[in-house]
Structure 1
Amino acid sequence: MKTILRQSYLETLSLLKDKNLIKVATGVRRCGKSTLFTQFQNQLRNDDPTISIISINLDMPNFRNLAEKNWKEIYDFIIHQAKENQVNYVFIDEVQNVKEFEKLLEGLFVTPNIDLYVTGSNAFLLSSELATLLTGRAFEIHVLPFSFKEFLSYTGKEANPDRAFAEYIRIGGFPEAIRLSEVGGNFVAEYLQTVYRNIFENDISKRYTIYAENSYYEVVNFLIDSIGSSISSSNISNKLTSNNKKIDNKTVSKYISTLVEAYLFYRVNRFDIKGKQHLATQEKYYLVDLGFRSALIGKELSTDSGHLLENVIYLELKRRNYQVWIGKTDGLEVDFVVRTKDGYTKYIQVSQTVQNELTLERELKPFNRISDHNEKILLTMDYDTGTYNGVKKVNAIDWLLSPDN
């Protein structure tokens, strides 16, 4: 089976190796967390063939009976395999499947000569209920499906990135979906529909009571169809009710929270640039992988191409470990206000094209209302680049393929 090294994640794991922390890889199901751990284990073995590695995947059939045991039995199983007088590298996939898994984590964390790595497909793993246990003890590595750069590397289509980008938006970055795309037919859509059902059944409905699955699906569709638009629970409730699909805004809010916890969507809050304060209303939601868009609601690529590009840019900002907000200044909006790992602020505007003078003027207008001298970037699919009153116009594909500066 073809794979590529998830280099940035592997570098992070290497830096955290032997540090007194629980390494927690989070992310949507099937995005490659287990493969990442396998790659890291291979790297460890290459460095030291005598290393002790204990690996358990609680989603796999050969460990299914172990997942049904209590946390202490799993702890004893691991300790029985551990070697004395050397570090044991313990990997547990989908640890949230263990009842009282927090006790298992705590027990392994305080056991000498254990370096602990776990994955989880639900934000419940790092929820407030575990805050006391994990504060200062855990480091989260958030894993996303393939980036566009990884997509090109995996498919070998580096020679024609423009054509490959349209394919990337349609197929998305789930490794198995990309493999199936080479077969043809409707396999990609069917696979992604199965992934969604798996997420719903394992990470949502088992934890929360969903009384009306049809209404839930309507909320999912609404969010997918509203990528890059400011929305609220009331907006969705009112719109669905007007279409004879009655649902109250509290239920909508609950449904959205479950989707965010399962890493299907990311919520991005607004930030008042002049007032330097966070705003609690009219947030935006971005989809973890655009392949779901065509698989679940069948939208064509030509529809909302600017918002789809915006979604891709948002996910890349997350991959680069930036803090991200939606900017607001004098009633105008900047697509992204970001704070880099080094603490620098950047302003980013995204547009499919600004060849039309009116479109260019509209996209630059919010930048002109910002008085500070932080970097301002306009990302488009246009080939021409340049500078407008200090604003750098950059081709989006070039930016996606560039190193994180």
Structure 2
Amino acid sequence: MIETIKEIILDFQQSKLKTGIPRRTAIRPVLGKATVCIGVRRCGKSTYMLQLMQKLLDSGIRSENILCLNFFDDRLHALRHDSLGVILEAYFSIYPEKKNKEKIYFFFDEIQVIPGWEPFVDRLLRTEECEVHITGSSAQMLSKEIATQMRGRALSWEMFPFSFKEFLDFKGIDSDETLSTKKRLMVQKAFEEYRETGGFPEVAGLERMLRIKTHQEYWSAMLFRDLIERHGIAHPKALTDLAHWLVDNTASLYSVNSLTGYLKSLGHKAPKSAVSDYLTWFEDAYILFTVRIFDASLARSNTNPKKIYCIDHALVTSVSSGILVNSGHLLENLVFTALRRISPDIFYYKTKTGKELDFIAKLRDGSRMLIQVCESMADPQTKKREVTALAEAMAELKLSTGTIVTRGESEKISLGGGTIEVVPAWRFMLSFTENFQPTSRCHGVL
């Protein structure tokens, strides 16, 4: 095993890194803690690790001081039964002069497939002069056992599929400068492509049928590897049927009771407790997200109907039946994922007269943002409905601004107590910077 690991280490150190499109996620290592990058599978975590390694090399760190292992490598299968200590033994047998003399940078990809990896990483951080970076399937990196075994020696950061800005980077369009008329037209055209293809890096630029097939393979892997296998689900058909119902009803309200009844109508004997578990696991794996009503009472927030959104709007179109999902729901989902990249604290809101607002998001600076999503406000009745609902919410929450995101319209509406900005979705997407904070929803410090 030692010889195999030595071969893998040397092969990697001599290879050219395929770093892809630079991500706008600024993950910062913290002294004495492992940096854990979590997110949905295929969102680009492994490639981001390669980008971090390239930055180290560009800063003058020698390749010999970087050890990278991908635990999905078939040659490392035997490690599941051996001590992970052989990794250190193999590395320092190649570079004995570095032991306790130089800083070593460890990159472990998909390490969660190795039982007992947490104590090994914990020991590394305690005994070696090192920096440790870890990625893995999110559902397997978020367990409470990790928090216990790592004893606070890890910090989690979230990664998502391409944001619209990152998609523009892929297209070679600079969105950080003032947009000329020509550049704006390029950005708008790229946004229509982004609406069609979504943010998963591998599908960017693929023709439609290949994109759909790739999305469907992702979906199957997410359900079976990150959920069914991970949690040992005895009746996987109930979970997959629930997942398909939820994605078919993207941006719609649901309750645990209604979902339990739906599964019962299909002949499944899944109790409410199981359905609640499934919903939690979907979110842990960054596949589907639940949005609760904004309410000071946690009990009321939990008992009210909730809304469901998917990690990627184009994934919805590739795996849903297409019967219930419309372009308005997809636009709403797209806005949700843009908000989710910058904040985990997202709710929907109901005014005292029963009017519903799509999103209220708490931002990093503590401020609140009210957002309504409407494909088009060309119809006067639609415009009146959306503006009235947003104005009521602004008054009740004592907010001076609100936003209506549309497919392509823009306008500024002055009210007695504030202003409503009507903005096209592409411009709304460009208004955000990426979230540089470690995640708090996923146990924060592990």
Say whether residues 1:21 and 2:67 are aligned partners. Answer: no
Say whether residues 1:55 and 2:84 are aligned partners. Answer: no
Name which of 250, 253, 266 aligns with 1:230. Answer: 253
Secondary structure of the 2:428 match is: helix
Name which of 121, 125, 128 aligns with 1:109. Answer: 125
Write the distance in 2 (CA, Å) between the matches of 1:242 and 1:17: 49
Cα pair 2:376 2:409 within 8 Å, conserved: no
Say whether residues 1:169 and 2:215 are aligned partners. Answer: no
The aligned counterpart of 1:386 is: 412
The aligned counterpart of 1:305 is: 327
Say whether residues 1:145 and 2:161 are aligned partners. Answer: yes
Say whether residues 1:206 and 2:232 are aligned partners. Answer: no
Write the distance in 1 (CA, Å) between the matches of 2:148 and 2:232: 26
Which letter maps to 1:36? Y
Q: Kindly report which structure 2 residues correspond to 1:209-288, keeping only aligned pairs within 5 A, or say none.
A: 209-242=232-265, 247-272=270-295, 279-281=301-303, 282-288=305-311
Say whether residues 1:43 and 2:52 are aligned partners. Answer: no
The aligned counterpart of 1:328 is: 350
Say whether residues 1:376 and 2:402 are aligned partners. Answer: yes
Q: Structure 1, residues 323-349: CA drift from partner, whole Å, max 9, x if none?
A: 322233323332222121122222111
Q: Structure 1, residues 46-69: CA drift from partner, whole Å, max 9, x if none?
A: 111426111111123344443553
Cα 1:81–1:256 shift into 2, 3 Å: farther
Secondary structure of the 1:115 match is: strand
Which letter maps to 2:159? V
Structure 1 stretch 139-148 or stretch 28-37: which is displaced more? 139-148
Cα pair 1:265 1:285 within 8 Å, conserved: yes
Aligned CA RMSD, in angstroms, stands at: 2.9
Say whether residues 1:362 and 2:385 are aligned partners. Answer: yes
Cα 1:277–1:19 shift into 2, 3 Å: farther
Cα 1:248–1:365 shift into 2, 3 Å: farther
Give the C-alpha shift of residue 97 in structure 1. Answer: 0.9
Cα pair 1:271 1:278 within 8 Å, conserved: no
The aligned counterpart of 2:425 is: 396
Write the distance in 2 (CA, Å) between the matches of 1:59 and 1:48: 29
Q: Structure 1, residues 156-180: CA drift from partner, whole Å, max 9, x if none?
A: 577544444343233221111224x
TM-score scaled by length of structure 2? 0.79
Give the C-alpha shift of residue 21 in structure 1. Answer: 2.1
Q: Kindly report which structure 2 residues correspond to 1:60-139, keeping only aligned pairs within 5 A, or say none.
A: 60-74=73-87, 76-77=89-90, 83-84=98-99, 85-134=101-150, 136-139=152-155
Give the C-alpha shift of residue 148 in structure 1. Answer: 1.9
Which entry has the higher C-alpha Rg, 1 or 2? 2
Structure 1 stretch 395-404 or stretch 93-102: which is displaced more? 395-404
Which letter maps to 1:107? R
Write the distance in 2 (CA, Å) between the matches of 1:202 and 1:240: 22
Cα pair 1:272 1:328 within 8 Å, conserved: no
Say whether residues 1:32 and 2:44 are aligned partners. Answer: yes
Q: Structure 1, residues 190-223: CA drift from partner, whole Å, max 9, x if none?
A: 2222222222332222222333333322111111
Cα 1:270–1:81 shift into 2, 3 Å: farther
Structure 1 stretch 25-34 or stretch 102-111: which is displaced more? 102-111
Cα pair 2:409 2:422 within 8 Å, conserved: no
Number of residue pairs matched? Answer: 395
Give the C-alpha shift of residue 276 in structure 1. Answer: 9.3
Cα pair 2:349 2:360 within 8 Å, conserved: yes
The aligned counterpart of 1:348 is: 371
Write the distance in 2 (CA, Å) between the matches of 1:191 and 1:254: 27
The aligned counterpart of 1:314 is: 336
Write the distance in 2 (CA, Å) between the matches of 1:294 and 1:68: 42
Cα 1:297–1:18 shift into 2, 3 Å: closer
Give the C-alpha shift of residue 277 in structure 1. Answer: 8.6
Which letter maps to 2:314? G
Cα pair 2:289 2:310 within 8 Å, conserved: yes
Which letter maps to 1:357? P
Write the distance in 2 (CA, Å) between the matches of 1:22 and 1:2: 22
Identity of aligned residues (%): 27
Secondary structure of the 1:118 match is: strand
Cα 1:203–1:362 shift into 2, 3 Å: same
Structure number with higher relative contact order (C-alpha < 8 Å, ≥ 6 residues apart): 2
Give the C-alpha shift of residue 41 in structure 1. Answer: 0.4
Write the distance in 2 (CA, Å) between the matches of 1:404 and 1:185: 29
Cα 1:373–1:99 shift into 2, 3 Å: same
Cα pair 1:321 1:340 within 8 Å, conserved: yes
Which letter maps to 2:234? Y
Cα pair 1:223 1:285 within 8 Å, conserved: yes
Write the distance in 2 (CA, Å) between the matches of 1:195 and 1:75: 34
Cα pair 1:75 1:107 within 8 Å, conserved: no
Which letter maps to 1:396? A
Give the C-alpha shift of residue 311 in structure 1. Answer: 1.2
Give the C-alpha shift of residue 185 in structure 1. Answer: 5.9
Give the C-alpha shift of residue 353 in structure 1. Answer: 1.6
Cα pair 2:346 2:360 within 8 Å, conserved: yes
